[in-house]
A = this chain, B = another copy of it.
Amino acid sequence: MEISKDLIRGHTDTIILNILNQGDSYGYQVSKSIRQLSDQQYELNEATLYTAFRRLEKLGDIESYWGDETQGARRKYYRITSQGQQHLATALDEWRFAKKVISNLISGRIEL
């Protein structure tokens, strides 16, 4: 079973915030976390991921800093801000609500 891209759309930012909320991380690792959290069911496109990082940083939900790797490739780390944590909490509430509404819409019976 594969998940259509449009079903994930709108969750990308929340997914990233959830991961960063558990500790600072960088692109490649976030990508692997997503694969792991979804039991190998979902993989985020690299371009989408880095686009989201830039969007979230612009919004003030995350902050970035270059790691001081003495060996290995340079890494840009991301940290969630307190505003980002608030947005994460809001998004989770919204999801719990939307889940019910969507379920009704796609499988509920109409009474007229």
Q: Which residues of A contact B (CB under 8 A)?
A: 1, 3-11, 14-15, 18-19, 22, 33-34, 36-39, 41-42, 91-95, 97-99, 101-112
Please give the count of copies of this chain that the complex contains. Answer: 2
Q: Is the CB of B4 within 8 A of A105?
A: no
Interface secondary structure of A, over-half rule: helix
Partner of A10, one of B7, B22, B37, B108: B7
Give Cα A97 to B19, complex, Å.
Answer: 21
Are A106 and B3 within 8 A (Cβ)?
Answer: no
Chain B residues, Cβ within 8 Å of A103? 95
The smallest beta-carbon distance between A112 and chain B, in angstroms, is 8
Interface pairs A-B: 7 shortest CB-CB: A6-B10, A7-B98, A14-B106, A15-B105, A7-B10, A37-B108, A1-B97
